[in-house]
Chain A
Amino acid sequence: MTDTRPFETQSAETQPAEARPVETQVFEYTPGAPTELELDADDPLHGEILKLNMGPQHPATHGVLRLKIELDGETIRDCYPDVGYLHRGKEKTCESLGWRKFFPHTDRMDYVQPLMNNCAYAMALENLAGVEVPGRAQELRVLLMELSRIMAHLIYLGTTAIDLGAVTMFFFTFTEREKIYTLLDAYTGHRMNNTYVRLGGVYADVDEDVAREIRAWIDTFPAKIDEFEQMLTGNRIWYDRNKDVGILTTEECQAWSLTGPILRASGSEWDQRKALPYSGYEEYEFDVPVGTIGDSYDRYLVRIEEMRQSVNICRQALDRLGKSRGGDYLLEDRRYVLPPKQRVHESMEELIFQFKVVTDMRLPKGEAYTGIESSKGELGFFVASDGTSEPLRCHVRAPGLMNVQVIPLLAKGRLLSDMMAIIGSLDFVMGEVDR
């Protein structure tokens, strides 16, 4: 007879998982007084400009960004970002592919939050077509968009931390991100590049088991955020590297078209989900975190809190999905939406509709712009149609492009090591910047 007691006692020992309070250390700080850098006047090399090429293959540039930096000692005199190394001509591609076939390409723009891009593109097309999305599809989209936001913020957290020397954080955040990927794999069929959203709704309804798994993961995630905070928020090195680095005021954010967490970190309460709600965000309860002075540390705090709020929204979306079970998740409009496959096999008309949608889907003549609150700022799609099946124009308002543009403003006069904190906290993805 085998004795199972040791196992039981073992599991009993690991049971008491009391929620530990987050230990955060409060540092003194004087708002609005960035630390003045003192140059060593006796340095024999003082005044001699060193030109440094950072990138395009630098691990800290989060893609292929090239920064031409002019250094005086370790101080950045000037900085010229050079983008375009990842330019794949997505906007031109859209014009030759057609509206439907461009969906997979939106995934590959900001590849850390593919579903958010899908949703933004679909919403722009729906705006141009003048159609309304069913309620359940909107709830599914909200769930996916908030999961994407968490994923993107986890990438920010992990990569910025590893750039600033906190290697462990990278593994912590990527472990959590991998769990979301596993959930999305079960849900949409792909880990990355999901192409799950369609014009008029989403491709398939959420499976009950998957919804339960998402809820189970959501329940564990707030404790993980506490763990991240325990490692970073009160960490002296993290604080010193980020505090008073890359300060952006609200006025500067307006002048440089910076939105999203960067604008909120500067003290502005602008959140499009609250101010100009889309996809039914007005019915969800969540708070908008704002910073005080708009430095890298504030941006970090804002993003951490945004993850907590996203968890709240996900939970509410799952509750609503439980209530709207069985509802339509895809619009029934044969001009733009494929008929269900089963009906295609049964009906000749549906077969024709499928054929027409695939080969010759046309949007009405006109222009439309739709912007949503992505994890990096306002992600907008400007679409123009001439009424034929070939798109006239599809322009992506990439928040990342604006974020990269502001690097010289923040970097001038700072130390080279501050560059890592600045690049990290601006949080851009070059696939979206270059398109």
Chain B
Amino acid sequence: MNPQDLIESVTSRFPDAVSSSHVFRADATVVVTPEGLLAVARFLKEDPELALNFLMDLSAVDYSAFGQGHARGLFASSGVAVAPSFLIPDLDPWPGPPGERFAVVYHFFSGTQRHRLRLVVPVPETRAAVESLTPLWPAANWLEREVWDMFGIRFEGHPDLKRILMYDGFEGHPLRKDYPVAKRQPLIGPQN
């Protein structure tokens, strides 16, 4: 199924849950509200035409520093006039971040239909929680634990939401943009 048809079949079924959608670099992306996530995911898995039976990847993005990556400033004071060739316009532009601070990004994949679909769930900082997909895909277990560990986004209904890569005594969530790269913490040994 081509990306436009994929988006169409999801949006026609869930007009309330889908807030926007786009195709970027031939990848179909559907932005879904946190409330509608579980219903949409179940539909994606069980609909015979979509048959997105693999939850290939689950991660999150922190948009709080979007567009603020400091330009290195090497040319600012040197007076060298450089026309950077990245001013070439993008013929297939990306519509922009979904609006909230975080977005949980799901990549679904169909082994039979050979297509992929990206589901983006914007999550506000004040209520950083989405429904867990572990009832549908047990593989979501560790992936959601990793997102909790790295971003501090809760997954409601997760059977065992705890840190996975960092240790129990670790404070903060390292992949948030406000966590400094060079910050150090005492390493606390594992507890049995």
Residues of B55-100 at the interface with A, using a CB-CB cut-off of 8 Å, are: 55-57, 59, 61-63, 65-72, 74, 80, 82, 84-86, 88, 90-94, 96-97
Segment from B5-13, B32-40, B138-146 that makes contact with A = B138-146
The answer, among A82, A257, A352, A401, for a CB contact under 8 Å with B137, is A257
Total A-B Cβ pairs within 8 A:
152
With CB as the reference atom, state the residue of chain B lying closest to A433: B165
In the assembled complex, the Cα of A378 lies from the Cα of B54 at a distance in Å of: 11
* A392 x B61 contact (CB < 8 A): yes
Shortest B133–chain A CB gap in Å is: 11
* B25 x A397 contact (CB < 8 A): no
* B105 x A397 contact (CB < 8 A): no
Chain B 159-192 interface 0/1 with A at a Cβ cutoff of 8 Å (1 = within): 0000111110000001100010100000000101
* B111 x A270 contact (CB < 8 A): yes
Given A270-B111, A369-B27, do A257 and B105 touch, yes or no (CB 8 Å)? no
In the assembled complex, the Cα of A276 lies from the Cα of B115 at a distance in Å of: 9
For B, the interface residue count at a CB cutoff of 8 angstroms equals 61
In the assembled complex, the Cα of A389 lies from the Cα of B84 at a distance in Å of: 13
Does B154 interact with chain A (Cβ within 8 Å)?
Answer: no
Q: Which chain A residues lie closer than 8 Å to B62 at the CB level?
A: 393
Does A59 interact with chain B (Cβ within 8 Å)?
Answer: no
The SS class assigned to the B binding surface is loop
The answer, among A53, A93, A353, A366, for a CB contact under 8 Å with B25, is A366
Shortest B57–chain A CB gap in Å is: 4
- Residues of B whose CB lies within 8 Å of any CB of A are 24-25, 27, 29, 53-57, 59, 61-63, 65-72, 74, 80, 82, 84-86, 88, 90-94, 96-97, 105, 107, 109, 111, 114, 116, 118, 137-139, 141-143, 146, 150, 163-167, 174-175, 179, 181, 190, 192
Pairs of residues from A and B, 10 with the lowest C-beta to C-beta distance, nearest first: A390-B69, A388-B69, A366-B94, A257-B139, A395-B59, A84-B165, A397-B57, A87-B165, A393-B61, A256-B139
Supply 27 A–B pairs (Cβ within 8 Å), ascending by A: A66-B190, A83-B165, A84-B166, A92-B174, A127-B25, A130-B92, A256-B139, A257-B56, A268-B111, A275-B114, A335-B88, A353-B85, A355-B74, A362-B84, A366-B24, A366-B93, A367-B24, A367-B27, A367-B29, A367-B61, A368-B25, A386-B66, A387-B67, A392-B63, A392-B65, A397-B59, A405-B139
